Amino acid sequence: MTAVIDVHAHAAPRTLLSDLAAGRERFPGVEVRSHESTYTVAFSGGTPTRPIAPGLIDLDRRLGWLDEQGVERQVIGGWLDIFGYDLPAAEGAAWAELLTSAVGEIAAADERLTALGTVPLQDPERAAAALVACRRAGLPGIMIATRAGGRELDDPAYTSFWEAADDTGAVVFLHPGFAGAGPRYQDFGLVNGLARLEDSTVTLARMLYAGIPARFPRARIVVAHGGAALPYVLGRLTRNHALHPQTTADPLESFARLYFDSVVFDPLTLEFLVAKAGAARVLLGSDYPFPIGDLAPREVVGQADLKDSDRTAILGQTAAELFT
């Protein structure tokens, strides 16, 4: 039987954070403070992060959840709040390398875990070099945010980054941050409920119109949260391309090269995603350990009206091919 694989989860390295808080490890632009039983992190004198969720740093809790949910493998990236994109380029590169190593150590503690690397996205050339280093170290790829320093992922400055992803066949897991969270999102929990989805949708629309997935077809781009609104608005984007063919690439060509996780919560939505993208392009995800995530990820796959072969593909068949 195919192993059940959760491709969307996060982790933070307790030992590294403890060392930074105690002064045993030092980065000029990174400040870690103890907060009750966990930590907060601030970069370059900025506002501290939310307290790091216990599930991010508690390995036993994670492994217990895998057992409870019948998940046999989990792909873990870092926590985006501590990716350090606000750090100066050189320090950011050193921080990303250390964070990659620390998340790798978490994964090495249990054979069910597979780590994704972190790169200094604020510096495209250094990000490209870090991606290549991750692949040489045996990692399947990296997790990145939708932008860094106000620079969009379709910016020509990232050409070397996408070339590196293409050359190495890397997984690039695209995850939203807080970039879309303006004042109107501050009520009703809409930062998590909606702003992140807007952030992903705009980034993806730009990438499709720039033809990034089509131009770099060996880069295996995986998108969080079911692709946000992209599958639903694809028809409109296609119509807009028909009106402006000289300034936009065909979005359908690039859409067909994307992978999507299953964190959509609603069986009908999952059915729609499978109909648009194909079951072989949809992967089981949880967004562990966050409450806004799907912490019973197999249920929506079981409840959706799908063929057995589609369920097999989503639950782990495709992920086993990608994350090796």
Asked if residues 230 and 200 have their Cβ atoms less than 8 Å apart, the reply is yes
Asked if residues 220 and 169 have their Cβ atoms less than 8 Å apart, the reply is yes
Asked if residues 225 and 261 have their Cβ atoms less than 8 Å apart, the reply is yes
Percent of the chain predicted with pLDDT > 70: 99
Whether the predicted model's global pTM rises above the 0.95 cut: yes
Please check the confidence at residue 229 and state whether its pLDDT lies above 70: yes
Greatest alpha-carbon span in the chain: 59
Q: What pLDDT score was predicted for residue 44?
A: 93
Q: What pLDDT score was predicted for residue 125?
A: 98
Task: Give tens-digit pLDDT for 163-211.
Answer: 999 999 999 999 998 666 678 888 998 988 898 999 999 999 999 999 9
Q: What pLDDT score was predicted for residue 184?
A: 87
Percent of the chain predicted with pLDDT > 90: 91
Closest CA to 300 of 313, 288, 286, 290: 286
Task: Give tens-digit pLDDT for 7-52.
Answer: 999 999 999 999 999 998 889 999 999 988 899 999 999 999 999 9
Segments in 184-289 forming alpha helices (H): 190, 196-210, 212-215, 230-243, 251-255, 267-277
Residue-range domains of the chain with CATH = 5-11+57-322 (3.20.20.140)
Task: Give tens-digit pLDDT for 63-74.
Answer: 999 999 999 999
| Confidence bin at 324 (pLDDT 50/70/90) | confident
Using DSSP, state whether 60 is helix, strand or coil.
helix
Asked if residues 270 and 262 have their Cβ atoms less than 8 Å apart, the reply is yes
